[in-house]
Amino acid sequence: AQKFAETIMTTDTRPKLASVRAKVGKKEFSLLGIAKGAGMIHPQMATMLVYLMTDIAAPAGKLRLLLKAAVDDSFNCLSIDGDTSTNDTALLLASGQSGLGITKQFATALHQVCQSLAEQIVGDGEGVKHVIHLYVDEAKTRAEALHIAKAIAHSLLVKTAWAGADPNWGRILSTIGSCGIAVDPDKIDITIGKQTVFQKGSVRPFDEKRAHAELSEPSCDVRVRLRRGKGKVRFLTTDLTAEYVHINADYST
């Protein structure tokens, strides 16, 4: 598995693997995931290869439904640079050797493995210094929350602010306002790290040095609350650094 993971690497700096082994009654199933991806990463998956292998026994149609649900919450909620290609693949292969069918434990394991691989991909993004866990809460629908999350994640001004660990809530707010959804700024909260920096139409006094320090960490949470409904999404994204430009300026196919 390690050699296979290394073989499919391109601009990746490290192989990406995740696995689960679990018992259901007296039987046991295993699930192994191997992925590659470091650039041109944006839903729907883009230049990403994901191979999921298990020994459960299940028809292709049911596996496809499970895979779609797991991918929607992981690889389709992930963006490094907003670019795509035609070369995306996610395969779920089942040998049937365990004699076990689909169970809740397997569905949970599939989500865990896909989420782990998504985290590994975004953490190994080209030139990435900061991984952002972006939460959009209380949108009208999940689709609306995802639309707003993508707009924030793909804003060059937002991404470069994150590269400088700059808690620039104004860039986030202006991106929300220009994304095509009629949000009410008087209902919006923006939280960076552990501090709410904008609340219901007004900037809140906050410790800028602390916010800068939190954004300077390898990983930081950014949360947007819209007060429009119950739709929400967790989205993985990154900063945009000079190293990313150098990698792609020098890379030739």
Between CA 27 and CA 41 the distance in angstroms is 38
173: which 2 tokens?
């707010």
Mapped onto helix, strand or coil, the DSSP state of residue 104 is helix
Between CA 229 and CA 142 the distance in angstroms is 10
The neighbour count for residue 62, using CB atoms within 10 Å, is 12
Residue with tokens 């939190």: 214
| 47 classed as catalytic | yes
* Identified catalytic residue from 47, 54, 175, 237: 47
Residue-wise burial string across 63-82, b where 16 or more C-beta atoms lie within 10 A, e elsewhere: beebbeebbbebbbbbbbbb
Q: Which residues are known to be catalytic?
A: 47
